[in-house]
């Protein structure tokens, strides 16, 4: 009985994975025959469609692994849509005093943040690690898009990262040391009860 319940999710994952591969292959095949005038729009459809497919697979299976490519592809697709795609016309001129690439990086950062949000809401485990690349891309996007204060902040963080590594190392050593002492303390409590 246990083996049967364990194989059902594996079969469902294989089914969903197979359907995503068929969808991606069909889109890529159609992409070879569509006119060049469809180029950017079709590329957006592929990126956002695949991103949505992976997110849907994550929602159906409640497994965090599907949200990772879903968030990344959705962030890239949204960034392209904002910079060169149909959404670019909706952005007022001069919104970003800096480079348009900053807007792409902000959307891409949003895709990484989406991974953490989706895993927190819909999966058994929350992935916090995407906040690190997402945060880095957010700072780069703010620096590129808005310049001045964000550029100075990015420069300051570029100079301070070794201190952050030292602090993280000290914390790891402290936790390891604390972990070694705890079993001895637990043993003393057990001996005291006897």
pLDDT, one tens digit per residue, over 1-13 is 444 444 455 577 7
pLDDT band of residue 159 (cuts 50, 70, 90) is confident
When pLDDT is averaged across residues 124-140 and rounded to a whole number, the result is 91
pLDDT attached to residue 35: 62
Residues 147, 140: Cα–Cα separation, whole Å: 9
Residues 143, 155: Cα–Cα separation, whole Å: 9
Helix (H) or strand (E) holding 7: helix 2-33
Dihedral sign computed on CA atoms, order 24, 29, 32, 36: negative
Residues 2, 49: Cα–Cα separation, whole Å: 36
User: What integer best gives the mean pLDDT of the chain?
Assistant: 79
Q: Which residues, 6 or more positions from 146, have their beta carbon under 8 angstroms from its beta carbon?
A: 96, 97, 98, 102
**pLDDT tens per residue, range 20-58:** 778 777 777 776 776 655 566 767 778 888 899 899 989
> For the whole prediction, is pTM greater than 0.75?
no
pLDDT attached to residue 117: 96
Of 131, 129, 150, 77, nearest to 107 by C-alpha is: 77
DSSP code, position 127: -
Q: Is the pLDDT of residue 139 over 80?
A: yes
Q: How many residues can be counted in the chain?
A: 194
Cβ neighbours, 10 Å, residue 146: 17
When pLDDT is averaged across residues 145-160 and rounded to a whole number, the result is 73
Q: Is the pLDDT of residue 60 over 50?
A: yes
Residue 125 DSSP SS3? coil
Q: Which residues, 6 or more positions from 17, have their beta carbon under 8 angstroms from its beta carbon?
A: 57
């Amino acid at each position: 009985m246990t083996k049967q319940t364990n194989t059902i999710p594996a079969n469902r994952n294989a089914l969903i994975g197979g359907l995503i591969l068929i969808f991606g292959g069909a889109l890529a095949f159609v992409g070879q025959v569509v006119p060049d005038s469809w180029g950017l729009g079709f590329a957006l459809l592929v990126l956002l469609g695949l991103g949505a497919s992976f997110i849907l697979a994550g929602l159906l299976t409640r497994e965090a692994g599907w949200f990772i490519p879903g968030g990344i592809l959705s962030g890239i697709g949204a960034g392209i849509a904002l910079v060169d795609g149909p959404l670019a016309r909706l952005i007022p001129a001069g919104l970003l005093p800096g480079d348009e690439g900053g807007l792409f990086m902000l959307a891409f950062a949003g895709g990484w943040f989406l991974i953490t949000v989706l895993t927190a809401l819909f999966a058994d485990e929350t992935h916090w690690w995407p906040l690190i690349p997402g945060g880095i891309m957010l700072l780069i996007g703010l620096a590129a898009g808005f310049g001045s204060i964000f550029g100075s902040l990015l420069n300051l963080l570029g100079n301070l990262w070794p201190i952050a590594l030292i602090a993280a190392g000290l914390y790891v050593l402290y936790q390891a040391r604390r972990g070694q002492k705890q079993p001895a303390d637990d043993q003393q409590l057990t001996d005291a009860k006897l």
